[in-house]
Amino acid sequence: MSLAGIKSIEDFELKDQRVFIRLDLNVPIKNGVITDDTRIRAALPTVKYALDHKAKIILCSHLGRPKNSEDRKDFSLEPVADRLSELLDAEVQLVEEPGSDTPKALLSGIHRRQLILLENIRFDPGEEKNSMELANKIASYVDIYINDAFGASHRAHATIVALPSIIKKKGLGFLMKKEIEMLDKVLIEPAKPFCALMGGSKVSDKIGVIEHLLEKIDTFVIGGAMAYTFLAAQNISVGSSKIEKDKISLAKELLGRLDARKKKILLPVDHVIVERLEKDAPSKICDVAIPAGFMGVDIGPKTIELFSQELKKAGTVFWNGPMGVFEMPPFSKGSFKIAEVLADSTAVTVVGGGDSAAAVNASGFANKMTHISTGGGASLEYLQGDKLPGIEALRPPQRGPQK
């Protein structure tokens, strides 16, 4: 039902048409070098399809959060253009001003293995303002609009909402379609038992998902920094661990609601702890209560075993949030071991993007997951029942009552 009435790229005749494809190429770049090209690779099937069907292609993406003109060098899509050229074996022309006449002029003489990539669309202040002026400028050189930027589709920005509102031929790409279909597997008819594996730092980020899926989920497995807030809600000492103090009462209420519905809840029973958050800091294992002066940085071996045994029984697992500070190798064991357990599982395993996706990719088990979302915030909003502006903008207009 989520995609009812929405067309896809396959529904259009693309030959010689000017096809605007909104992508999420917001990849990490350090010193001009892309450190993880997962999002670029995820976009390739849609771009290749358009190339194979002889479309005249305009690609568009944002990169980071540039604040002023001084940020242009640090947030340029030039490294992305180079990587796309390599992966597509095509010439990618980076266009500095999306609202100028340059794209239209280039499109008139574009060759078979050439395509246009607009420079970071957030360089134009109209993007984040959902500007119709910017949308109209781009629409002047676009015949077909395709949204394949799931990771940006929870934002009401110009190339996500305003632009498709004025283009008649519009639809979604292969990545968007897969994202929604996989999240619908979790939302609509998850194979039982259904386990929600929650981690990361913020309870507040996950409240909507927990509430929306409360009746569907059988077991809640809670690790990462958010577990310390839940432990604090049970009056268990968490030392100097990162917690959301203003969410302790909410965590306590949630635990009560889950218990009343006879939902199974697993929290850490031991931890890896340190006195200071540094990769070379001496660490030790402690039981459920963390002593003063120490902070939790990963789940302990007993917790890994407890969580693993539960996950092995699951029919569906939705994972959002790592189990510890996985970016520091000494504290990655919990997240990586959980990834390995899911890799060996027969369950439908859906990873909710963001830090969860980064942890799974770093673990080496990414190719064993059923689906890894490219949008952390977007996947959470979708699963908590929110309508994503980027999807709604693709729906055909509702016809009013007949007079």
Rg (the chain; Cα; Å): 23
Cis, peptide link before residue 193, omega less than 30° from 0: yes
In angstroms, the CA 262 to CA 270 distance is: 24
Calpha distance 266→311 (Å, rounded): 11
The DSSP secondary-structure symbol of 120 reads: -
Q: Which of 18, 39, 83, 137 is catalytic?
A: 39
Annotated catalytic residue within 104, 129, 169, 202: 202
Burial label for 317, CB within 10 Å (0-12, 13-18, 19+), is: buried
Rounded to an integer, what is the distance from CA 369 to the centroid of its chain? 15
Q: Which of 216, 368, 377, 395 is catalytic?
A: 377
Q: Is 354 among the catalytic positions?
A: yes
Long-range contact set of residues 277-281: C-beta below 8 Å, sequence gap at least 24: 277/325, 278/328, 279/328, 279/329, 279/330, 279/331
> What is the residue-wise DSSP string for 275-328?
SS--TTS-EEEEESSBPTT-EEEEE-HHHHHHHHHHHTT-SEEEEES-SS-TTS
Contacting residues for 372 by C-beta, under 8 A, at least 6 apart: 350, 351, 353, 357, 360, 361, 366
DSSP 67: -
Q: Choose, from 223, 354, 375, 390, the residue flagged as catalytic.
A: 354
| Residue 202 is among the residues annotated as catalytic for this protein | yes
- How many Cα neighbours within 13 Å face the side chain of 10? 4
User: What single DSSP character describes residue 114?
Assistant: E
**Contact status, residue 8 vs residue 172, Cβ threshold 8 Å:** yes
C-alpha distances (whole Å) from 355 to each of 157, 324, 329, 336 are 24, 11, 15, 13
Task: Report the catalytic residues.
Answer: 39, 202, 354, 377
